[in-house]
């Protein structure tokens, strides 16, 4: 496994080399797409990217948790969490990369 992380700049460079837009236009395009995705998620919409996966927001109710060290009960406040479910094609592609 590599320690490399894919960044926004890496995505912009990929758009630049594959589509041929200028570096600035490529960076603006990546920012725009990521902005649209995050805005939709903030509004509670589901974002489905074909052959990649689905991002959605779940509402989690308040509950009582425990501090594992002390056993003390601690209230956990209601919150919104982001979830990602990869498509079957993405799962298969990642699994195929594990075979050597």
| Residue 10, pLDDT score | 95
Whether this model's pTM surpasses 0.85: no
Bridge partners of residue 76, in order along the sequence: 63
Whether 64 contacts 73, CB under 8 Å: yes
Closest CA to 47 of 93, 89, 87, 4: 87
| Residue 53, pLDDT score | 97
pLDDT in tens, 15-50: 999 999 999 999 999 999 999 999 999 999 999 999
30: tokens are 């990546």
pLDDT in tens, 61-82: 999 999 999 999 999 999 999 9
| Residue 97, pLDDT score | 85
Q: What is the largest CA-CA distance in the chain?
A: 58
């Amino acid at each position: 496994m590599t320690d490399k992380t894919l960044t926004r700049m890496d995505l912009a460079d990929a758009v630049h080399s594959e589509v041929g837009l200028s570096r600035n236009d490529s960076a603006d395009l990546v920012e725009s797409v990521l902005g649209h995705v995050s805005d939709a998620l903030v509004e509670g919409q589901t974002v489905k990217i074909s052959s990649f996966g689905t991002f959605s927001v779940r509402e989690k109710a308040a509950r009582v948790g425990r501090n594992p060290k002390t056993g003390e009960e601690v209230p956990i406040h209601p919150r919104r969490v982001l979830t990602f479910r990869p498509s079957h094609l993405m799962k298969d592609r990642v699994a195929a990369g594990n075979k050597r």
